[in-house]
Amino acid sequence: MGEMTWEHHSSRDFRPLTPDQVRKKQFSRAKLARRGYSEEEVESFLYRVADEMAGGDKEKADLRAEIDRLKNWYKNQGADVADPGMGQPRVSIDAVNILSRAQQTADAQIAEAEDYARRLVGQARQQYELTLQEAQQRAEEAAVEAVDAYRSSGVVQSAEAEELESRIAYLRTFAEVTQVQLRAVLEGLANEVNKLGSLPSRSRQAATDPLTRHG
Amino acid sequence: MDAQALKDSWHLVARSGDQVPLFFYSTLFLMHPETRDMFPVSMAAQRDRLVSALGRIVSNVDRVDEAVPLIQQLGRDHRKFAVVAGHYPAVGHALLATLQHFLGDRWTPALANDWKQAYELIAKVMIDAADAASATSPPWWEGEIIGHERLTLDIAVIRARLNYPYPFRPGQSASFSFALRPRLWRFYSFANAPRRDNTIDLHVRVVDGGTVSTALVHGVQRGDILRVGAPVGDRLTLNPNLPRDLLLIAGGTGLAPLKALVEQVAYEGPTRRVHFFVGARTSRELYDIEALTKLETEYPWLSVVPVVSHDVLYRGERGQVADVALRAWRGQEVFVCGSGEMVGATVTRLVEAGVPNEQIHFDESTTGEGKEP
């Protein structure tokens, strides 16, 4: 540690991807019996790429604004540049109010989106509880059936084997009923919620403008 | 400086409610567009915070001994937002313009001068406190995520290694932020006692519709960086001079800070009997029970009892965790952590059962999206 000064310590919040990393990205193999990449992984990676590109675009926009400010500053050299003290440059109240209204609209829409997500996840959770209960019931039934089938199969019967047979049937059914359904639902929701809370970037807005869309 | 004039004018302005911070921030962003980026997209929560902070400061303006520590704390805490001395004049501009706008004819040169002086004083105290803090600690710590494990569909345990020594006490929490959710900070408790390798554990549950918790559970991955603010809170910390036995009552991810206490007893002593009651709705939500059971086998003074409230098929203890825990109460210090609802109900039960107030330590689980600085 020793003589650290923190004033000039400002590291980036994240490590930017390099084109090389994108090219060399290794995806882990999907589960047995499924060929191809893990979709979830590919998708989340693509999201990150997109996020990072958006971040780059934003940074460029900020730099352009900075260049603009510097140009103006040079233009105004010799003119009376307001010092950043406590003197009060006037701001148009109309402008303040327009900005306030825009902010309020944004706040409202974000709150609405979050609320929507909350209800959606809440419903999913209920659905999940129901599915589980149903799966437990179905599994119980399957276990009973398995024992019956075993008893009528004419094999020499032992209590342990019966118990085992019943457990296997229970577990198999339970797993089948729950797994696929729940995972799909929850991950879909997680992705939706993930999209909230990030600013729509200028570039994305531009992309939806028919004039700038490239065929 | 006329303290009464400041108070009176503030009360007048504060009557306009949300309009005031709305106007203030719009003015700030128009005068100094470069400051917009320091704030999240939605400003709703931010506006509330500004008004309550200003209100607290103004109402204490004539009680310097009360106001100064508050303002110093504010100044230190603002370091994590990358606020620098150069930002203060911009805020001063916007504040004066806002007061002028809302006070109309009452805005006299004398009052303007009072506010200007008061603001400059506050800014100076904040800047000095931040500067003093910068001699001993970074504006924020950075932790690289080295472990991210989803233990249930909506609970993840995250381990991060911090870049500088991080002095905290078990039972404390800190605010966290990360690149996926820029400029949003949320509090989480440490689930461990300080370690030599400078790693920390967090237990995060997805809050329905919560942007930050969802990103932490489903979005971040190993290698990502967490920003960590200074450690805060002492409601769940142990008093080293009072080596009484402990009764710990956890709901859901509220077990995190209590697990940190168990580790503290294990690492530092003094040894005491610890009864740890871990509540969950279903057995599936006993996400950390494996690790706790391992601790239990390791330490003879520790007993861990999982309690499940909504799971008819569960074979262990069933019911409300408070009721089960109370059966084991023999005058121990009691620590409670869980959702707001769970903590409220548990503390009520404890008091009814005759546990003295001063022996009940509780705090709401810091996994809520609503927990903001």
Lowest-confidence pick of A68-77, A202-211, B320-329: A202-211
Name the helix (H) or strand (E) containing A177. Answer: helix A159-195
pLDDT the model gives residue A65: 64
* Percent of chain A topping pLDDT 70: 52
The C-alpha atoms of residue B297 and residue B292 are separated, in whole angstroms, by 9
CA distance from start to end of chain A: 56
Contact assessment for residue A70 and residue B5, using Cβ atoms and an 8 Å cutoff: no
pLDDT band at A10 (very low <50, low <70, confident <90, very high): very low
The C-alpha atoms of residue A107 and residue A113 are separated, in whole angstroms, by 10
Q: Inter-chain contact B26–A44, Cβ cutoff 8 Å?
A: no
CB pairs under 8 A between A and B: 132
Q: Which residues, numbered 164 to 193 in chain A, qualify as contacts with chain B under a Cβ-Cβ cut-off of 8 Å?
A: 182, 186-187, 190-191, 193
| pLDDT higher than threshold 80 for residue A71 | no
User: Coil, strand, or helix at residue B62?
Assistant: coil
Residue with tokens 């036995």: B245
DSSP string, B32-44: -GGGGGGS-S--H
- Position with higher pLDDT, A205 vs A197: A197
User: Coil, strand, or helix at residue A38?
Assistant: coil
The C-alpha atoms of residue B79 and residue B73 are separated, in whole angstroms, by 10
pLDDT the model gives residue A7: 35
Predicted model pTM = 0.71
pLDDT the model gives residue B107: 92
Q: Inter-chain contact A106–B41, Cβ cutoff 8 Å?
A: yes
Cis peptide before B270 (omega within 30 of 0): yes
The pLDDT mean for chain A works out to: 67
Q: Is A210 on the interface with B (CB under 8 A)?
A: no
- Position with higher pLDDT, A130 vs B266: B266
pLDDT the model gives residue A208: 43
Q: Inter-chain contact A89–B31, Cβ cutoff 8 Å?
A: yes
| pLDDT higher than threshold 50 for residue A9 | no
Q: Which residues, numbered 47 to 106 in chain A, qualify as contacts with chain B under a Cβ-Cβ cut-off of 8 Å?
A: 51, 62, 65, 84-86, 88-89, 91, 93, 95-97, 99-100, 103-104, 106
Closest residue in chain B to residue A137, using alpha carbons only:
B313
Q: Which whole number is the average pLDDT over A198-215?
A: 44
Mean pLDDT by 10 residues, chain B (373 residues): 88 83 92 90 84 82 82 88 89 92 88 92 92 91 96 92 94 93 92 96 89 90 94 88 91 95 91 94 90 95 94 84 94 94 93 94 66 39
Residues of chain A in contact with residue B139, where contact means CB-CB under 8 angstroms, are 6, 9
pLDDT the model gives residue B154: 87
The CA-based diameter of chain A, rounded to the nearest angstrom, is: 106
Query: DSSP H helical segments within B78-202, as ranges?
Result: 88-103, 109-134
Nearest to B55 by CA among B84, B17, B93: B17
| pLDDT higher than threshold 80 for residue A100 | yes
Residues of chain A in contact with residue B86, where contact means CB-CB under 8 angstroms, are 84
pLDDT band at A205 (very low <50, low <70, confident <90, very high): very low
Q: Inter-chain contact B184–A103, Cβ cutoff 8 Å?
A: no
Q: Inter-chain contact A84–B90, Cβ cutoff 8 Å?
A: yes
The C-alpha atoms of residue B310 and residue B319 are separated, in whole angstroms, by 8
Residues of chain B in contact with residue A9, where contact means CB-CB under 8 angstroms, are 138-139
Q: Which residues, including other chains, have CB under 8 Å from residue B9's CB and lie 6 or more apart? A: B99, B103, B106, B111, B115
Contact assessment for residue B87 and residue B78, using Cβ atoms and an 8 Å cutoff: no
